[in-house]
Amino acid sequence: MKQLFGISQNVKSRLVRVCTAELFREAVDSPHVVRVCAEIADALKAVRRGELSQVAFEELKADRKRLLPVITPHATFTQGRRVNADAVPSGLCMLDVDHLPDARGFYEANVRGREAVLGILLAHITPSCEGLRLVFMLPDPSMELKAAQRWMAGRLGMKEYDGAVKDLARCSFLVPRDYFLYLDEAGLFGEGDSVDTDSAKTAATCSAKTVSAATCFAKTADTESSKNESLPASVGIGSETGTGSETGTGAETGTDADADAEAEVFRGIPYADIIHQWLLLTGGEPVMGERNTRLYRLALHLRYITDNDEQWLLRLMPRYGLGEEEMKRLIHSACSSKLCGIPTEMRRAIKIAASAAVSSACTDSSLAGTGETESALLPPPMPEQLPALIELLLRSTPEVYRPAVAHAVFPALGAHLHRTSFRYIDNVCHEATLMNVLMAGTGAGKECISEPINRIMADIRGAGCREPAPRAGVEGGGQFEGGQQGQAPPPEGVSDSGD
């Protein structure tokens, strides 16, 4: 029977369509996907060589993964929006294993040759190059996702895996085809098999509400750190049971579904978006060494918009590798604190998320009509061909820092322009006055621009340390080397008296 699951432009997009074999192939064979994953792989190599810090790598990885298309293996969605309340279970389940020293070796030793017995349809290395992802059929249509993951982990002898990947709206980043370890397209897409009527209707509904296939995988711009290779579209963890897409009735209905839908939003704003904006306002995603402190602070702030409900917070809070019991203790401590007013950061996060939601809604509707994607709003990629001087300055610069350095050298180069002026917007001629602003998180490597700028400015700075050479036409004669005066006569008509 054909398995129906979803596909979307990227993790930020909440528009989901039914994934066909054609869309899947278009995504994994896309040069954009290959390039993004190559950048992450290059950065990981730089970390291992000691050229890039782990913090900088995590930030780069999170940023690049936002550009990748995603699939939702657990479900399709009746309204074309990635929320648990509209989910129709696919009958599939995914298992994530993070921080494997040798993911390919682990697969060859523990999985290879057992795919058919275990029901595995897709296996690949994660975008971070440090993890393994398996997509498999539920061993029992009535089995919950959490139980299915535990079943698969037991068969493979795994004691540790990402247990947070258990709600229907979870998505999985797609990777290039050479990251694949196993792919059963016939089983995954059921090519040639008949499709249940109800499921076909659901697929038609989902497809009608989303963008065209031709624009689904143009270059586009949340991601979590390597502890969470798969991210939720909405932060609520669903309790729906995977019943298989062929029934077409897996989504919850009635009071329970309404309650789930309400639990996922605050004043119409998804909690996931609020949390994302809060993290940006408070320094970005937490890294090793600050996870407890940052997540405790997040819980302190979130409780003001979740009725100080510990169970609700437990469903909403990101983990970043912390265990369930540790999260429970952290949330209990936060909810036991004295309530005051909503903190400023939370107010700002809500306001920004609300504005972004309005902008996104307008953008989605306008781009769907024009056949464009969110990539129209992103800065262009680095050109393949660069001017010779810029190429020379970037020759020893790691790939990840090249855009920053390429922009930063222009003010220093502009300082060397001689007798060159530009007519500015005020219609007045000025010398070239250029400015570059580089913004990045702590430890991102902003110092990369210093050395090229210092080399460009060395001649000017060196000249500024020496006394000026004698020049004709300088009023007052002036001091020359050795403090002697009069070594050059003053120009005609210019007095040197009173010196």
Average pLDDT, the chain: 75
Indicate whether 428 pLDDT > 60.
yes
pLDDT the model gives residue 322: 82
Work out the average pLDDT over 265-290.
84
pLDDT category of residue 69 using cuts at 50, 70 and 90: very high
Q: How far apart are CA 238 and CA 311, in angstroms?
A: 13
Mean pLDDT confidence for 280-298: 83
* Per-residue model confidence as pLDDT tens digits over 14-60: 678 888 889 999 999 999 999 999 999 999 998 888 888 888 888 88
Query: How confident is the model over 468-484, as a mean pLDDT?
Result: 45
Question: In angstroms, rounded to a whole number, what is the distance separating the alpha carbons of residues 23 and 17?
Answer: 10
Q: Rounded to the nearest 5°, which phi and psi values hold at 51?
A: -90, -10
Nearest to 294 by CA among 316, 272, 266, 319: 319
pLDDT for 377 equals: 44
Alpha helix (H) ranges present in 254-340?
A: 254-263, 271-281, 291-302, 310-316, 324-335
Q: Write out the DSSP string of 412-472.
A: HHHTT--S-EEE-TTS-EEE----------TTS-GGGGHHHHHHHHHHHHHHHTSPPPP-T
Given pLDDT bands bounded at 50, 70 and 90, which one contains residue 174? very high
**Rg (alpha carbons) of the chain, rounded to whole number:** 29
List of residues 6+ apart from 159 with CB closer than 8 A: 153
Which tens digit of pLDDT belongs to each residue from 366-401?
444 444 444 444 567 788 888 999 988 888 888 888
Q: What is the pLDDT of residue 473?
A: 44
